Structure 1
């Protein structure tokens, strides 16, 4: 009876740049980093829940970086890695979706005072952050779906 191992399923080294879902690592870096930069460049009010958005963007950026280097170095060859891959990216989807909703709510709240020139720049930054946040959510979602398919094959 032949058994499959995760070594046949998870790529290592430069193969992560050519396999789905691992090709999503680079866009996740870009869009997650942009969310982090755009939110960090605005002013935060005391009652503003941007702390959660910053936590999510930094957590996912650092987590994706670690995950990327684990895959790049080939340390992902034990049998638990396919399920950990699905779990991490699912957690990232849930976190980013909640942060995106909060960020969209704050952006809508800022639309009322966007006619004041000082707040117009912040409003535009928030709009950009919302778009990037939803794109990051979509990328993490796609990564989760394709990781789950890969996990079921292993």
Structure 2
């Protein structure tokens, strides 16, 4: 139990981000967020306002997660508790963003169910991946909060 607490209390760097509890979620977050981005971009963005928000969230979270992963891999954090708190705050914000984007995308998809079936299937896939990304960011935020409290 003490080894788990010690591992949760330290900030990894290098390849350590591929083996520690909250940081192992970086790659799945990138994959699912990228899939949302690709699937929404591959269809006609109509109506532009809610789907524009979905595109903003998916692109913003993809870029920020990639940069955040690079910062941790390079070791810019110097094991500071400030970085642990920032990790929690970022992933909590990403949860709120993806949850709002997923709900908007689900509503727009429900409205377009009488349209072209192939586009409808792509939109349903985007909804599923948006909520999967929300779940991954939520788990990462919870584990980051635990790590921050043990820091």
Unaligned runs of 5+ in 1: 1-7
Q: TM-score, normalised by structure 1?
A: 0.89
**Equivalent residue for 1:94?**
96
Is 1:84 paired with 2:69? Answer: no
CA contact (8 A) 2:98 2:130 kept: yes
**Equivalent residue for 2:132?**
135
Q: TM-score, normalised by structure 2?
A: 0.91
CA contact (8 A) 2:109 2:123 kept: yes
**Equivalent residue for 2:44?**
43
Number of residue-to-residue matches in the alignment:
142
CA contact (8 A) 2:92 2:138 kept: yes
CA contact (8 A) 2:81 2:148 kept: no
Q: Deviation per CA, 1:29-64: give whole Å up to 9, x if none.
A: 100000000000000225552000000000000000
**Equivalent residue for 1:153?**
150
Runs of 4+ in 1 over 3 A off after TM superposition: none
In the TM superposition, residue 121 of structure 1 has moved relative to its aligned partner by: 1.2
Query: Which structure: larger Rg?
Result: 1
Unaligned runs of 5+ in 2: 1-8
**Equivalent residue for 1:25?**
26
